[in-house]
Structure 1
């Protein structure tokens, strides 16, 4: 198996081996409008004559161009939010991108959506794909989260995790936090175009001592914050799934979500005992709910989708795409893999 991916903040490609899987990581441009890695796209396009299956991720990036000229079967996971971007520039770019995608989406043998909400949104804009879609949620490494140790001596913590872009509405959480009394703190994990603006807003609201924008974190550090948080909040305007809320529930946090289709879906399927979906998005209502959830007992966790099951279901989709897969044992004796497929994704 070969994974082609990309990451911002690096200048040279790297190659790593994990058992029978090779991971090639290319530099990505540091732009907020779209995820762009020309070297990743070129590397994927060069495989168009390969007879190996390729799994492409990311409608909202240039990665989808890897579908061009593919002769072998291809599986596509779009992570579709609709015909919108994270900025006004991305909205402009999505106009020609949508027209191109109407043609590109004819090519995959199968399409995987991570939620029913994403499936409905994709079919609404691209009706011809309906009979090729399977719904397989994102997997959660619940065991690793539960093994992590909470950070010591932290005050009651409200946590936000995600890209710091306007559609995530973290500024709304900040304004609501004004009415959450000390010693509670708000910790914001992630990076993006709105980072400086959020820091300035925290200062303007007199919250600089209790709001911490910690940037992007590796998995180990993020898992510790997930185990520390009493409450997790996402007021995002659009999502394809909502992995961070499910991860936070695994860590024991109470969950507060905006009322959007993807959030309603994960609330019903995974988070029933620990979630509030806000039908009132006013600042006062959100502040009152945060105070209420801070006073509630910690969550006992949730039934998160397991990566092993997700991998098995994904390989089932590969098999229906007409490629014969072999599943050898890796160094640990049981890791699922497939030697005859090329997996391509954008890790930004």
Structure 2
């Protein structure tokens, strides 16, 4: 089966990294290629390194309608059995192009949808109307959580056209052998200028307003001066976070790594993961922290909300306020000594293992291709 994944861009965001991970674990008979409408960033490089063919359409913006006929020609020439779209712009153009090219099986994954927000932007009447019009051109919309599925139903998408397949994590990448983990921890702490025996709080995600990393910067000012904060990611809020840290006198305790493709290793350099975002459609970063054996303090994680509390005993919900995070993190800090030993994997990690998730998606592909 030939499958084309169409995605808006391939920078190192959550949806893009999830696509890369899925392609590594889909059944071998499903031969996949990827097309980025724009911005073929670090994930495109990683895909090519894995041997995946990556196309770049060179789209100039949301209203570059001239990209549509080029996309139709590419889909038709590829003779694909199924097209799978990801993210809003790719959903609009990709579903339309697939239908015009004669592809019958068209899937879309909804990665980031709330009642009034899609991919961090407010949902206007026009945005919603275009979304629903494009949805009707597809076969199935995959929701990454029950929360997303509920939003789709509230918008009027028929339940029969919604498939719940959550995001997944490669659990094997996050569980390093003890000697290797210690070496990685020592190397990365030296690289980032962190004391090997110090206490380090971390956050992972794009530096955008919705992630609310300013909460952690302000909490840092209330913590022991030896505490460090590492934020893994890049985005438009970087300068604002740096300014706020300088105003609070903690700029020398804040480390911004920029965009990285070694997140599992970076997590081994942390002591706790903090996730103050209040609007998540899944909460992948929280699951990654748990897979790395870290205690986690978070404000929103639908992936955990959909499981019993005992599925992740080392994760605790915290109000997304600086004082609340400062108190929660202060309670976690060892009173004396320091341990880098990881916590055991909780049941939630196994539940979202990428092997199981990819098998479910592969089964959906096979079912739709037979229709």
- More displaced stretch, 110-119 vs 163-172: 110-119
Partner of 1:224 in structure 2?
Answer: 265
* Superposition deviation, residue 257 in structure 1: 1.0
Pair 1:117 & 2:157 matched: no
In 2: Cα distance, 1:160 partner to 1:123 partner: 32
Residue in 1 that maps onto 2:4: none
TM-score by length of 2: 0.73
User: 1:128-174 CA deviation, whole Å, 9 max, x = no partner?
Assistant: 33112221121211111222634212521111111111111111111
Partner of 1:133: 162
Are 1:300 and 2:344 matched, yes or no?
yes
- Please give the alpha-carbon distance, in whole angstroms, between the structure 2 residues aligned to 1:231 and 1:171: 17
Structure-2 separation of matches of 1:2 and 1:9: 17
Report 1:307-322 matches (<5 A).
307-322=354-369
> What is the CA–CA distance in structure 2 between the aligned matches of 1:132 and 1:245, rounded to whole Å?
29
3-state SS in 1 of match to 2:203:
strand
Residue 299 of structure 2: aligned partner? 258
| Partner of residue 288, structure 1 | 327
Distance 1:44 1:271 in 2: 44
When residues 288 and 37 of structure 1 are mapped into structure 2, their CA distance, relative to the original with a 3 A threshold, is farther
Question: Could you state the TM-score of these two structures normalised by the residue count of structure 1?
Answer: 0.77
Moved more, 190-199 or 2-11: 2-11
1:316, distance to aligned residue in structure 2 (A):
1.3
| Contact 2:92 2:130 survives alignment (8 Å) | no
The structure-2 alpha-carbon separation of the partners of 1:288 and 1:269, relative to structure 1 and needing over 3 Å to count, comes to closer
For residues 196 and 302 of structure 1, do their structure 2 counterparts lie closer, same or farther at Cα, with a shift above 3 Å needed? same
Aligned residue pair count: 309
CA deviations over 1:236-290 (Å, ceiling 9, x no partner) = 1212211111111111111111146455336x47852210012x33322221111
Structure 2 Cα separation of the partners of residues 42 and 292 of structure 1: 58
**CA deviation after TM superposition for structure 1 residue 42, in Å:** 6.2
Three-state SS of the structure 2 residue aligned to 1:310 is helix
Give 5+ residue unaligned stretches, structure 2: 1-30, 187-195
Cα 1:270–1:113 shift into 2, 3 Å: farther
Hey, what's the Cα distance between the residues in 2 that align with 1:271 and 1:211?
A: 32
> In 1, are the aligned partners of 2:218 and 2:322 still within 8 Å (CA)?
yes
**Following the alignment from structure 1 to structure 2, what is the Cα–Cα distance between the partners of residues 3 and 191?**
26
Superposed CA deviations along residues 56-77 of structure 1, whole A, max 9, x for unmatched, are 1113x44432111413211110
TM-aligned CA distance change 1:184 to 1:275, over 3 Å: same
Pick the structure with more helix per residue: 2
Output the CA distance in 2 between the equivalents of 1:199 and 1:320. 50
CA distance in structure 2 between the partners assigned to 1:146 and 1:302 by the alignment: 12
Q: Map residues 108-187 of structure 1 onto 2, 5 A cutoff.
A: 108-125=138-155, 127-147=156-176, 149=181, 150-152=184-186, 153=196, 155-187=198-230
SS in 2 for 1:167: helix
Instruction: Name the SS for the 1:233 alignment partner.
Output: strand
Which structure's relative contact order is higher, taking Cα pairs within 8 Å and 6+ residues apart? 1
Question: Structure 1: any 5+ residue segments left out of the alignment?
Answer: 325-348
Decide which of 53, 56, 61 is 2:85's aligned counterpart. 56
CA distance in 1 between partners of 2:225 and 2:270 (Å): 15
Match of 1:238 among 279, 284, 287: 279
